[in-house]
Structure 1
Amino acid sequence: MLEYKVYSKVSGKEDLVLLHGMGGNSNIFYKQLKYYREHFNVITIHLPGHGNSPSLNKYEGVFSQELAAQEVIKTLDHLNIQRAHFVGVSLGSIILHHMMKSHPERIASAVLSGAITRFNLFSKFLLFVGRMIKSITPHLWIYYLFAHIIMPRANHKASRDIFIKEARKMKREDFIGWFNSVNKVARSYDLVPKLAKSIPKLYVSGSEDHLFIKNLKKDIKHDINATFKLIEKCGHVCNIERYKEFNQVTLDFLKGNQSVKSTKQIS
């Protein structure tokens, strides 16, 4: 089972689950926890290969994004959480897209920040280069390179630094396993507008998220229940770079989608 942390157990509050990006962990939400906890029971979950969650080689067969999504569902089952709100950042948004297709009834609403629906030509070239050098290069060098390309500007430094710092804790085999899975990212979003059309979705991206934002905006325009929010002068990780605006926008959305009292009991 995945490592998780429950930050509150207040009866009557609905549940909010936070899913981090690749190489990161729940520490990336340090600017959100205080505000979210005022309105929700907050749970952070470490994806496979992150924190103290199982390494990817502990799973039978070839590791996949779909498997990671199923592990999140199993963790919710363990916590007796039948339905929750979600915030996913980067890789977290990819896992959320898989969950929307396989278990849409478990998602009350979703915030997807720095979301990735497919790669542009430059991103595909970077992945090709990464595949060519991954066997002869320390994995942190690859992560460092990609972090600087995805978040290149001076105002992205705080995001870059925290992701690189947390990625140092990641085992090489876990990084490579996730890296091998990312070329199938387009499969994660396929059919989401059809299978998850009842789920309210808020996509939050920075205007400087140069590798992903163009395709994202094209793809989600076909989703009748998706809203897009652009944060100016911000890169890939809005919840760190422009956290005040991010907190306000996402809280308004999440609170607006609260429904009946939660029926779960966290064990």
Structure 2
Amino acid sequence: MNNKYNINFCYYPGKSEEVIVFIHGIPTNHHLWDLILPYVKGHYSVLTVDLIGYGNSDRAPYYDLTLPKQAEYIINLLDHLGISKAHFVGHDLGGGIVQILAVSYADRVESIVIADGVCFANWPLPKVVSIRYPTAEEFQPTPLFIERMLREGLYYQQLLKPNLLYDFLRPFSGPNGPQDLKQASFALNHHQTEDLVPFLPKVKVPATLLWGQYDRYLPPYWGKLLHHHLPYSSFKIISDAGHYSMIDNPNRFAEELIHHMESIT
């Protein structure tokens, strides 16, 4: 691989030659998709990644954790695996990365799904910015901060089961965890998606935009606006779901994902 950092990934070959790549956001990792994978594994080939700076992937300084850099790392991983084109599913920051892939690496993209994604200038969230220079205990970049962020982003908080919470907290629970999370925050700048806006109408691949009905971090308004800028897109609300719609309502999320895939393959 051309990456100077090691990226953690899981690859599950399927009956179909179509490959779905799942990309998470902050502060999660590839376990974000655990409830969705059973619906698509076996039929489609599936690739989940931990972005650099997250999960079990290498840590890096903030300037190597920007969304354009993350897109580059993912393309390098596809090259390493011999995958020429793929369908990309991105949540939160992953939604921004998917937009970058569709604009800057169009020849590698079969289709895109953006779930509760960053776009335009709607990010980084004040909550994420607050950990850069914390002014109170509640803003310290600790596992407790991550847990609060996850719970506040869910519609059904009880669905954050202990094992899933552990999978999200563990990568940032070591002595370097607070500094690693700070570096991830410093990497985020809304220009990384805002600069894409003039090019979005030129994206020719099918796009499905899935937004949690009660997303308090990135409200559905942003998905609707993105829908108006992407000519081959559809916009769907995931009912009874917050920012983490794939956890709140995995059945509906998977249903929309499968519908997306079946409509174009």
**TM-score, normalised with respect to structure 2:** 0.82
From 237, 241, 266, the equivalent of 2:244 is: 237
From 9, 12, 15, the equivalent of 1:7 is: 12
State the alpha-carbon separation in 2 of the partners of residues 227 and 82 from structure 1: 25
Cross-structure match for 1:200: 206
Cross-structure match for 2:52: 48
State the alpha-carbon separation in 2 of the partners of residues 70 and 215 from structure 1: 25
The answer to which structure, 1 or 2, has the higher relative contact order (CA under 8 A, 6+ apart) is 1
The structural deviation recorded for 1:13 is 2.3
CA separation of 1:208 and 1:141: change in aligned 2, threshold 3 A: same
Partner-residue secondary structure (3-state), 2:146: helix
The structural deviation recorded for 1:163 is 5.3
Corresponding pairs, count: 251
The structural deviation recorded for 1:50 is 2.1
Partner-residue secondary structure (3-state), 2:10: strand
State the alpha-carbon separation in 2 of the partners of residues 223 and 25 from structure 1: 27
From 81, 87, 90, the equivalent of 1:79 is: 81
Q: Over aligned residue pairs, what C-alpha RMSD do you find?
A: 2.8
State the alpha-carbon separation in 1 of the partners of residues 195 and 147 from structure 2: 25
From 248, 259, 262, the equivalent of 1:252 is: 259
The structural deviation recorded for 1:18 is 1.2
The structural deviation recorded for 1:229 is 0.4
State the alpha-carbon separation in 2 of the partners of residues 188 and 160 from structure 1: 38
**TM-score, normalised with respect to structure 1:** 0.82
Q: Deviations over 1:222-252 (max 9, x none)?
A: 2211110001221111111111111111101
8 Å CA contact retained: 2:30, 2:48: yes
AA aligned to 1:131 is: R
The structural deviation recorded for 1:145 is 4.0
Q: Once superposed, which parts of structure 1, at least 4 consecutive aligned residues long, lie more than 4 Å away?
A: 118-121
From 183, 191, 195, the equivalent of 2:189 is: 183
Cross-structure match for 1:211: 217
Q: Deviations over 1:60-79 (max 9, x none)?
A: x5542111110000000000
State the alpha-carbon separation in 1 of the partners of residues 129 and 90 from structure 2: 26
Q: Which moved more, 1:242-251 or 1:13-22?
A: 13-22
Please say if 1:16 is aligned against 2:20: yes
State the alpha-carbon separation in 2 of the partners of residues 134 and 96 from structure 1: 33
AA aligned to 1:211 is: Y
8 Å CA contact retained: 2:53, 2:65: no
CA separation of 1:144 and 1:68: change in aligned 2, threshold 3 A: same
Cross-structure match for 1:132: 133
Partner-residue secondary structure (3-state), 1:114: strand
8 Å CA contact retained: 2:89, 2:115: yes
State the alpha-carbon separation in 2 of the partners of residues 193 and 234 from structure 1: 27
Q: Please list every run of 5 or more consecutive structure 1 residues that lacks an aligned counterpart in the other structure.
A: 259-267
CA separation of 1:63 and 1:34: change in aligned 2, threshold 3 A: closer
8 Å CA contact retained: 2:201, 2:231: no
State the alpha-carbon separation in 2 of the partners of residues 148 and 38 from structure 1: 31
The structural deviation recorded for 1:127 is 4.7
State the alpha-carbon separation in 2 of the partners of residues 68 and 86 from structure 1: 13
Partner-residue secondary structure (3-state), 2:188: helix
8 Å CA contact retained: 1:100, 1:192: no
Cross-structure match for 1:221: 228
The structural deviation recorded for 1:119 is 5.4
Partner-residue secondary structure (3-state), 2:48: strand
Partner-residue secondary structure (3-state), 1:111: strand
